[in-house]
Amino acid sequence: MDLLTVLHSYRPWNPQEERDTAELLHRLESGEDLFHRENTAAHLTASAWVVSPDRARVLMAYHNLYDSWAWLGGHADGERDLLAVALREVREESGVAARAVSDEIFSLEILPVSGHEKRGEYVSSHLHMNVTFLLEADPSAPVRSKPDENSRVAWFPLEEAVAASSEPWMRERIYRKLNEKLRKNFNF
């Protein structure tokens, strides 16, 4: 389905999602190409909040660039099916074959990325226009790291997943929000 159509029907969870959804819609409707990294100011990414079937645990990776435990995800790189991007990134970054709990967007956020070195090249500060999907995977399945991106992959109880992040804004504004949405949507 067309991202514009999906975003117009998306019901934001809080003021952060309201403003970020409006900004993403504005940029897409203006014709800005957000699907490719060649847009060095802002581009689309897809992330996954990967939970166990009982919704008690979350799969996280220790992200080398951010020096923090983080969700899994990556760049659209031209792919317009952002759910497919999230599923691919989980598989690439953890070795886990996850499945979508729903094909609907679970969360939406604009994430600032500070300038950094990647593969020996400088990447300027920019924005990730991020769409998050709720995925499910078997916590007994083997996991592996992807050394060029992360050094460890592990399952955490919901609150420990939030606490494991060393990024205050991600911990308080994003991961905590994802757990709140998870609890509300699944009544626990």
**Residue ranges per domain, the chain?**
3-185
pLDDT of residue 114: 76
pLDDT of residue 39: 85
pLDDT of residue 117: 76
Contacts of residues 168-174 at CB distance under 8 Å and 24 or more positions apart, as own/partner, are 170/68, 170/70, 170/111, 173/16, 173/109, 174/107, 174/109, 174/111
Q: Give the fold, CATH level 3, of 3-185.
A: Nucleoside Triphosphate Pyrophosphohydrolase (3.90.79)
Residue 121 pLDDT greater than 90, yes or no: no
Q: Is the pTM of this model over 0.85?
A: yes
Mean pLDDT score, 28-53: 92
**Mean of the per-residue pLDDT values for the chain?**
92
Residue 41 pLDDT greater than 90, yes or no: no
Q: Return the amino acid letter for 74.
A: G
Are the C-beta atoms of 39 and 33 separated by less than 8 Å? yes
Higher pLDDT pick, 138 / 126:
138
Provide the pLDDT confidence category of residue 188 given band limits of 50, 70 and 90: low
Give the separation between CA 37 and CA 3, rounded to whole angstroms. 17
Residue 101 pLDDT greater than 90, yes or no: yes
Give the separation between CA 149 and CA 8, rounded to whole angstroms. 33
Are the C-beta atoms of 154 and 142 separated by less than 8 Å? no
SS3 at position 94: helix
pLDDT of residue 119: 76
Residue 143 pLDDT greater than 90, yes or no: yes
pLDDT of residue 40: 84
Give the separation between CA 178 and CA 127, rounded to whole angstroms. 20
pLDDT of residue 142: 94
Tens digits of per-residue pLDDT, 6-31? 999 999 999 999 999 999 999 999 99
Neighbours of 4 (CB within 10 A): 11
pLDDT of residue 44: 94
Residue in this structure with the two tokens 């959804």, named with its chain if needed: 21
pLDDT of residue 1: 65
SS3 at position 165: coil
Q: What radius of gyration, in Å, describes the C-alpha atoms of the chain? A: 16
Residue 115 pLDDT greater than 90, yes or no: no
Mean pLDDT lowest for which of 116-125, 145-154, 170-179?
116-125
